[in-house]
Amino acid sequence: MKKLIIYLLLSIGFVVMIMPFAWMIVTSFKLPSEVQQWPPKWVSKNFFSTRQVKVETKIGALRTLKGISLSEALSFTSSKDDDQNVLNISVEDDPFYRGKMTLDITGYDYIEKASMDNFSKWIKSLKFPQQFSTESPEKFFEEVFLFYYSGNSPYFKRLNYISNLEAKINNAISGIELVSKFVERRVSDKSEQTRFKDFLNKAMENLITLKEDILKYKAGKSLVLTNDEINELYKLLDSINLVYGGKNELTNIYSTKVVNVISQEKDYIKFYLEVYRYFKQLQIKRVDKPIIAKVMTKNERIILLKENLKRLPESEILNNLIVSEDFDNLPEKFSKKIDSYFLNEYKIETSFLNNLKSLVVTYKNLLIERGVDYEQILKNGSFDDLIDISDKILSDSSSYKIFKAKVESISYELENYKSFLKELILLTDHLDLVRKVYNNSMNSWKIIDAPEFVKAVRVRNGEVIEIELNGIAPIYLSDDNLSTINLSFTFGEIIKNIFQNYVDAWKAAPFGQYYINTVFVATATTVLEVILASMAAYAFSWMNFPGKNALFGLFLATMMVPGEVLLVPNFITISKFGWIDTYYSLIIPWIVSVFAVFLMRQHFLSIPKELFDASKIDGCSHWRFLWQIVVPLSKPVIITGALLKFVGSWNSFLWVLIVTNSDKYRTLPVGLQNFSSDVGTLYNQLMAAATFSVLPVIILFLFTQKYFIKGIARTGLK
Question: Which of 74-78, 399-403, 505-509 is predicted least confidently?
Answer: 74-78
The answer to whether 244 touches 224, Cβ cutoff 8 Å, is no
Q: Which residues contact 244 (CB under 8 A, 6 or more apart)?
A: 196, 199, 251, 254, 255
212 pLDDT more than 80: yes
Distances (CA, A) of 340 to 87, 337, 345, 423, 636: 38, 5, 8, 13, 59
Residue 73, pLDDT score: 56
Dihedral sign from CA coordinates of 89, 94, 95, 101: negative
Question: Which of 339-343, 512-516, 698-702 is predicted least confidently?
Answer: 698-702
Residue 77, pLDDT score: 61
Per-residue model confidence as pLDDT tens digits over 474-499? 888 888 778 899 999 999 999 999 99
Question: Which of 137-151, 197-211, 331-345, 611-625 is predicted least confidently?
Answer: 611-625
Residue 277, pLDDT score: 92
53 pLDDT more than 50: yes
Residue 717, pLDDT score: 42
Residue 293, pLDDT score: 95
- Mean pLDDT in residue range 53-64: 76
| Distance from chain centroid for Cα 424 | 32
Could you give the CA distance from residue 500 to residue 30 in angstroms, rounded to a whole number? 9
Per-residue model confidence as pLDDT tens digits over 107-165? 898 888 888 888 888 888 888 888 888 888 888 988 888 888 887 788 899 899 999 98
The answer to whether 69 touches 334, Cβ cutoff 8 Å, is no
The answer to whether 530 touches 593, Cβ cutoff 8 Å, is no
Residue 76, pLDDT score: 59
| Closest CA relative to residue 232, chosen from 216, 245, 246 | 216
Query: Which secondary structure element, helix H or strand E, spans residue 364, and what is its range?
Result: helix 350-369
Could you give the CA distance from residue 650 to residue 653 in angstroms, rounded to a whole number? 9
Residue 34, pLDDT score: 86
Question: Which of 120-129, 162-171, 312-321, 419-428 is predicted least confidently?
Answer: 312-321
The answer to whether 231 touches 206, Cβ cutoff 8 Å, is no
pLDDT band at 61 (very low <50, low <70, confident <90, very high): low
Average pLDDT, the chain: 84
Q: Which residues pair with 109 in a beta bridge?
A: 286
Per-residue model confidence as pLDDT tens digits over 670-693? 888 888 776 678 888 888 888 888
314 pLDDT more than 70: yes
Could you give the CA distance from residue 211 to residue 220 in angstroms, rounded to a whole number? 17
Question: Which of 68-72, 299-303, 379-383, 638-642 is predicted least confidently?
Answer: 68-72
Could you give the CA distance from residue 534 to residue 626 in angstroms, rounded to a whole number? 8
Could you give the CA distance from residue 330 to residue 309 in angstroms, rounded to a whole number? 11
pLDDT band at 645 (very low <50, low <70, confident <90, very high): confident
Question: Which of 42-51, 181-190, 600-609 is predicted least confidently?
Answer: 181-190
pLDDT band at 261 (very low <50, low <70, confident <90, very high): confident
Tell me if residue 57 falls in helix, strand or coil. strand
Question: Which of 34-38, 42-46, 282-286, 315-319 is predicted least confidently?
Answer: 315-319
Distances (CA, A) of 660 to 578, 589, 654, 655: 12, 14, 10, 9
| Closest CA relative to residue 104, chosen from 290, 245, 265 | 290
pTM of the model as a whole:
0.80
Tell me if residue 107 falls in helix, strand or coil. coil
Distances (CA, A) of 361 to 72, 368, 422: 11, 10, 12
Q: What percent of the chain is predicted at pLDDT more than 90?
A: 13
- Mean pLDDT in residue range 306-325: 80
Residue 710, pLDDT score: 59
250: left (phi over 0), alpha (psi -120 to 50) or beta: alpha
Residue 80, pLDDT score: 53
First to last CA, the chain: 26
336 pLDDT more than 80: yes
pLDDT band at 329 (very low <50, low <70, confident <90, very high): confident
Could you give the CA distance from residue 378 to residue 316 in angstroms, rounded to a whole number? 19
The answer to whether 292 touches 148, Cβ cutoff 8 Å, is no
| Distance from chain centroid for Cα 679 | 11
